[in-house]
Amino acid sequence: MARWPAAGRCKRRLSSDLHNTLSLAEPNERAARIQQRLCSHTLAVARELQASGALRLSLAVSGLGPGCAQRWGKTLGAETTLLQGNGSLGSRLRRQTIRTRRRHRTASQFIIGTDLPALSCHDLLDAVALLERNDVVLGPAADGGYWLIGLSSQLLTRPACWPFSGIPWGGSAVLESTLHFCQQAQLKTGLLPLRDDIDHLRDLKPWLSF
């Protein structure tokens, strides 16, 4: 899932940090360029596994109309490009899960964002292996959320058990609440290594210089 990298419409917290902390000119444009690089990196990693036949790559876009989204998805190598639509993150996650299930009814699904500069093919392969013995796989992020969620093909036959409802999206308790939901639903859950995603300037410093 990715937001179109337009100045002033993505990475607003990072843009604010660039302005307030570093007093950089054109912070919105700089943040948008960083978003573009992150999107390109994430899709490049996924394309490597798509080329091997290990997965099918879909891009769910926000911030663009249908035609522009299709063109952007094509340049990034996505097999399918869809709009995220309106609503909370949980609603958008559920919508994409349903759409993907209609096309690939027996497949497991992984949803990843585009905020992880350290993402590699090994991360995705580890997630695939972990999901073979779990219902749900989560990649914890240092901010209390997660950078990946995987749902097994068996779980996808039980929509009431999908962990997208009652989660405080955007807060520091996303992972904790999702794990609690999974425990209450008696879902077997596997965790990948903790990672830092890019929301603020402090997250970016190990990766880029200005």
pLDDT in tens, 97-108: 999 999 999 999
- Measured between alpha carbons, how far is 12 from 28 in angstroms, rounded to an integer? 7
Average pLDDT estimate for 68-87? 94
In the structure, what pLDDT confidence band is assigned to residue 189 with cuts at 50, 70 and 90?
very high
Predicted structure pTM score = 0.88
3-21 per-position pLDDT tens digit: 898 776 666 667 777 667 7
Average pLDDT (115-140) is 94
The answer to whether the CB of 85 falls within 8 A of the CB of 95 is yes
How many Cβ atoms from other residues are within 10 Å of residue 25's Cβ? 9
> Is residue 206 predicted with pLDDT exceeding 90?
no
From 83, 66, 70, select the one nearest 3 (Cα to Cα): 83
139, containing H or E segment: strand 136-140
pLDDT at 204: 66
- Kindly list the domain boundaries of the chain, sorted by start residue: 2-204
- Is residue 210 predicted with pLDDT exceeding 50? no
Is residue 136 within 8 Å of residue 148, measured between CB atoms?
no
Query: Given this model, what pLDDT does residue 60 score?
Result: 96
> For position 114, what pLDDT does the model report?
86
Q: Report the CATH number of the 2-204 domain.
A: 3.90.550.10
* Count of all residues that appear for the chain in the document: 210
Interval 146-180: pLDDT, tens: 999 999 999 999 999 999 989 999 888 999 999 99
The average pLDDT across 57-62 equals 94
Please list, residue by residue across 88-122, b when 16 or more beta carbons sit within 10 angstroms of its beta carbon and e when fewer do.
ebbebbbbbbeebbeeeeeebbbbbbbbbbebeee
